[in-house]
Amino acid sequence: MSAFWLLWIGFGLSFIGSLPFGMLNLTVADLGMRKGMRPALLFAAGAAILEYGQSLIAIRFAQWFVAGSALRAYIDWASVIIFFTLGIYFLVSKPKVNQPQEPAQADHHYFLRGLGMAVFNVIVYPYWVFYSTFLINQGWMDTSWIHSLVFSAGITLGAWLLFYCYARFSVWLIGRSEYFASYATRFFALMVFTLGAIQLYHIFNP
């Protein structure tokens, strides 16, 4: 398969895989509501760029990840801790409706925050190990660096576009409902706690 099609396959898998609620897209939406579009997009850029490196690692070391069952257990437990920590964060960070806007922080703050949070988004590794292994086994992708780099580029573009959609929707929604602004972060917290509980269930019920 040509590198062109691998780019779009990576794009599509990344966009679809990022659709369900997760710690990164919920944080993008939260920033969009509380800080505005620019901080949300800077955070999204940092997170998407970091996923380029994460997906590349997963692709290049796919067989090692598959063989490392102990590594998968560490990833599962790390995911639980991260989800519950983020849930607590959403509970304590409430949007300030009808109050003076907080002083803007430097652009690099949000970009670095996106990079930092994406480091802990460890569930991307098994996701991309699975799909890269599948594509290689089907003969649609080989183990060359060019295929790996192009596929990861598609993943990055798909993730950023999905984050953009989350940010745009949150900004659009917050402009039309102050009631939603008061309760959105609680909803985000509920979603993240639910994800953590589901992950915990799977650990004890493999």
The SS3 of residue 114 is helix
9 — pLDDT class (breaks 50, 70, 90): very high
pLDDT of residue 197: 84
174 — pLDDT class (breaks 50, 70, 90): low
Domain containing 9 equals 3-204
Mind listing the pLDDT tens digit for each residue in 84-99?
A: 886 787 677 655 544 4
* 148 burial via Cβ count (<10 Å: 0-12, 13-18, 19+): buried
Rounded distance, CA 199 to CA 161, Å?
A: 26
**Segment 4-8 long-range contacts (CB within 8 Å, at least 24 positions apart):** 6/135, 6/140, 6/141, 6/147, 6/150, 6/151, 6/154, 7/150, 7/151, 7/153, 7/154, 7/157, 8/154
Total tally of structural domains belonging to the chain: 1
Over residues 53-77, the mean pLDDT reads 71
**Nearest by Cα to 40 from 48, 49, 51, 31:** 31
**Nearest by Cα to 128 from 163, 150, 160, 152:** 152
Mind listing the pLDDT tens digit for each residue in 98-130?
A: 444 455 567 789 999 999 989 888 778 878 887
- Using a pLDDT cut of 90, give the percent of the chain over it: 25
**Nearest by Cα to 192 from 119, 121, 87, 118:** 87
* 41 burial via Cβ count (<10 Å: 0-12, 13-18, 19+): buried
**Hey, what amino acid is at 88?**
I
Q: How many residues does the chain have?
A: 206
pLDDT of residue 188: 67
* Strands of the chain, DSSP E: none
Other CB atoms within 10 Å distance of the CB of residue 27: 25
